[in-house]
A and B are shown apart, each in its own frame.
Chain A
Amino acid sequence: MADEPLVDWEWVFEHLDDLWAATYQHLQLTIIAVLVGLVISAVVSLLIYRDRRFYGPLVGVAGFLYTIPSLALFALLVPITGLSILTAEIALVSYTLLILIRNIMAGLDGVPREMREAADGMGYTTWQRLARIEFPLALPVIVAGLRIATVTIIGLVTVAGLIGQGGLGALMIRGFSRNFPTQIYLGAFLTVVLALLADAALLLLQRALTPWNRSGAR
């Protein structure tokens, strides 16, 4: 045991397909969760944009969901929705909401008052102003939220392995049960790599979407 290496490279090369499949599955669970979370957050944010009084209650609910420990939430949902992908996604999505709604609203609120007034003075309607002025100007803050949410979810998907939804979490659980460290280390390592890559990709996306920010003053 003592002279056994941390990573059994022979096993790794024999199971590259499995590793890729687990990583791919992990990414898939993440993307679905973040996209669904983004759509729900966008709708909720529009509601708040229309009427500020919704901010407290809606962010309160999102905040409550955020505080439930992930294992507890899975445990609560399994009797209702079973050991299914739905269970996993409901839990994952609920963790994105607070981050995304807060950042969308912070982004929109960060648009200078003078900018809104300039748009009004030009004759933009409320929705034209939102779509063409406020939303683009809020993009950096919104994408920043998207980055936090994505990295958070990549971590949480590991837990979804517990309810049999695969991904790198499942790889690690197998490693624990078989007392085979290679799978544990590899699962952890790939999770971190995935999180870093996703974060970098979103940063590039933000740069691409906001070309005016890097053109710089002369």
Chain B
Amino acid sequence: MSDPSAGGSPARGATVRFEHVTKRYEVKEKGPGAVNDLTLDVPAGKICVLVGPSGCGKTTSLKMVNRLIEPTSGRILIDGTDISRQDPIALRRGIGYVIQQTGLFPHQKVGENVAVVPRLLGWDAKRRRERTDELLALVGLDPARYRDRYPSQLSGGERQRVGVARALAVDPPVMLMDEPFGAVDPIVRERLQNEFLRLQEQLAKTILFVTHDIDEAIKMGDLVAVMQRGGVLAQFGPPDEILSDPASDFVARFVGADRGLKRLSLARVRDLELMPVVTAREGADAAESRARAKADAFQYLLLVDAADRPIGWVDQDAIPAEGRLTEDIAISMSPLLDGHTTLKDALSMIIDAEVVAGIVVDRDGRALGLVTAETIGAAMRDGVVTEAATRNEPPDEASDPESEPDREAAATGEAIARG
């Protein structure tokens, strides 16, 4: 097991392997869903999402990893070691476990909840306290403010953060997450997902993640295991593969008819080659601007302000023959996109605004180029989407409207640099 010392470098993930794992229930026995001959290899440091309709055995599969449920047959190996030979109590203390909503103990303060496993392992109070503060800070909660609160005094999103902190307490190489973001509203869920993906980039834990939401599975998973009723593994692969090449009618139905659009959510504007745009600053010489616009195939010139921020489109034929360019000749605007906008969102914004192109801007709002529906379609055909999806980079901080501004700016800058 890992050395759970606070402050040291975090323990990297371990491999998790299911070998012909079957769980059957007797007729009278109640259980969350049977599992039928599941074989699955999760590489170290990857997020594997188990997704499927209710009763497909995804939660059962998860709970067999920390032996809350024992398989009827087959075995599960963590880093090559058969877990059925390990003491279940020690095994569980060495695996992070995040549960939906009810997971926190209501009678324990936030700090006590986070320190549950350290306490079971007999850490002294000082070490527990240091680790708790470190973890609360890691998940974005001010230790001084949150340490002594009860879970009932927290919002849903804060509770989920505490749940993640608790699971990380002794720096386990493997984490099990059972619908960890299920109990919060969509906006908070999106933020928690993004934060968690960024955290995982540093931590590189091996994570088994259960959800019934295919969108969440595609977003969170390096690998997605689609399960169907009866505990049968319908397909196992990277998200783009599940979307582009469903293995069966069941998978195709489960991922939905809009799987093409879902694939677009795996790539971002920064992955595209942008269409160049002719710009002219407000107050620039009209004749010179007109000449430049006429030389370009695109009918419109983009009028920008002194800081190169877009003001609006100007029809090249509407540019006066002489004088200076003024704001009032601009006719319309396009939606502004930036590097981290997903292609799905970009397409949606372009269609919604009933325009041809979206304008890509950097973090200072300066126009960089254009994205059109055609550019996006071409990117899909040329495999840009697949390539980007395979890299599966975590989303930028900037996609969180409420994140701290300095970190947001830094992340966006990085994204633009990459794009």
CB distance from B182 to the nearest CB of A (A): 13
B117 partner, pick from A117, A122, A125, A216, beta carbons under 8 A: A122
- Which has the most chain B C-beta neighbours within 10 Å: A112, A122, A124, A217? A122
Give the residues in chain B near A117, CB-CB below 8 Å: 68, 99
B363 within 8 A of A: no
Task: Name the distance in Å between B118's Cβ and chain A's nearest Cβ.
Answer: 11
Partner of A121, one of B99, B106, B108: B99
Fill in one digit per residue for A120-146: 1 if any B CB lies within 8 Å of its CB, else 0.
111111001000010011000000000
Q: Assuming A121-B92, A122-B92, A122-B97, is B68 touching A212 (CB within 8 A)? A: no
CB within 8 A of B93: which of A118, A122, A216?
Answer: A122
B152 close to A (CB within 8 Å): yes
Assess whether A125 is in contact with B89, with CB atoms less than 8 Å apart: yes
Docked complex Cα distance between A136 and B107 (Å):
7
A215 to B152, CA, bound (A): 8
- Given A115-B105, A125-B89, A120 contacting B68 (CB threshold 8 A): yes
Q: In the assembled complex, which residues on chain A have CB atoms less than 8 Å from the CB atom of B152?
A: 212, 215-217
Q: Which of B93-108 contact A (CB under 8 A)?
A: 93-94, 97, 99, 102-103, 105-108
- A217 near B153 with CB under 8 A, answer yes
| Chain A CB within 8 A of B254 CB | no
With contacts A217-B152, A218-B153 taken as known, whether A133 is within 8 angstroms of B105 at the C-beta atoms is: yes
Q: Which residues of chain A have C-beta atoms less than 8 A from B154's C-beta?
A: 218
Query: When the two chains form their complex, are residues A118 and B106 in contact, meaning their CB atoms are under 8 A apart?
Result: no
Q: Mark B46-90, 1 if CB is under 8 A from A, else 0.
A: 000000000000000001001010000000000000000000011
B120 at the interface (CB under 8 A from A): yes
How many residues of B are in contact with the other chain, CB < 8 A? Answer: 29
State how many angstroms separate the Cβ of B106 from the closest Cβ of chain A.
6
Tell whether, in the assembled complex, residue A120 and residue B150 are in contact, meaning their CB atoms are under 8 Å apart. no
Interface centre among B92, B106, B151 (most CB of A within 10 A): B106
Chain B residues within 8 Å of A25, by CB? none
- Taking CB atoms, residues of chain A closer than 8 Å to B184 are none
Across the interface, which residues of A come within 8 angstroms of B99, CB to CB? 114, 117-118, 121
- Complex Cα–Cα for A137 and B66 (A): 25
Q: Shortest Cβ distance from B319 into chain A, in angstroms? A: 58
**CB of A210 closer than 8 Å to a CB of B:** yes
Q: Which residue of A lies closest to B163 (CB)?
A: A118
- Asked if B68 and A128 sit within 8 Å, CB to CB, the answer is no
Q: Which residue of A lies closest to B167 (CB)?
A: A122
Given A118-B102, A122-B97: A210 and B107 within 8 A (CB)?
Answer: yes
Q: Is B388 an interface residue (CB 8 A)?
A: no
Query: Mask for B352-384, Cβ within 8 A of A = 1, else 0?
Result: 000000000000000000000000000000000
**Contact code string A191-218 (vs B, CB < 8 Å = 1, else 0):** 0000000000000000000111001111
B91: A residues at CB distance < 8 A? 123
Known A128-B120, A217-B152; judge A123-B68 contact (CB<8 A): no
Residues of A within 8 A of B108 (CB): 212
Asked, given contacts A114-B99, A128-B120, whether A120 binds B153 with beta carbons under 8 Å apart, the answer is no
Q: Is B349 an interface residue (CB 8 A)?
A: no
CB distance from A116 to the nearest CB of B (A): 10
Interface string of B162-194 (1 = CB under 8 A from A): 000010000000001000000000000000000
Q: Nearest CB to that of A115 among chain B residues?
A: B102
Cα distance A162–B150 in the bound complex, in angstroms: 51
Chain B residues near A122 (CB-CB < 8 A)? 92-93, 97, 116-117, 120, 166
Task: Evaluate contact between A212 and B97: CB separation under 8 angstroms.
Answer: no
A120–B91 Cα distance when bound, in Å, is 11
When C-beta atoms are compared, the residue in chain A nearest to B62 turns out to be A121
Q: Give the docked Cα–Cα distance between A217 and B94 (Å).
A: 32
A118–B107 CB distance below 8 A = no
With A212-B152, A215-B150, A215-B153: A137-B106 Cβ-Cβ less than 8 Å: yes
Are A121's CB and B102's CB within 8 A? no
- Bound: A94/B48 CA distance, A: 58
Provide 26 A-B residue pairs closer than 8 Å at the C-beta atoms, listed in order of the A residue: A114-B99, A114-B103, A115-B102, A115-B105, A118-B99, A118-B103, A120-B92, A121-B63, A121-B66, A121-B176, A122-B93, A122-B166, A123-B92, A123-B93, A123-B120, A124-B89, A133-B107, A136-B107, A210-B107, A212-B106, A212-B108, A212-B150, A212-B151, A216-B153, A217-B152, A218-B153
Beyond known contacts A120-B68, A215-B153: 12 more, CB 8 A cutoff: A118-B102, A118-B105, A121-B63, A121-B97, A121-B176, A123-B90, A124-B89, A125-B89, A136-B107, A212-B152, A216-B152, A218-B153
Across the A-B interface, the 4 shortest Cβ-Cβ residue pairs: A123-B93, A123-B92, A121-B97, A114-B102
Q: Which residues of B contact A (CB under 8 A)?
A: 63, 66, 68, 89-94, 97, 99, 102-103, 105-108, 116-117, 120, 149-155, 166, 176
**A: which residues have CB within 8 A of B?**
112, 114-115, 117-125, 128, 133, 136-137, 210-212, 215-218
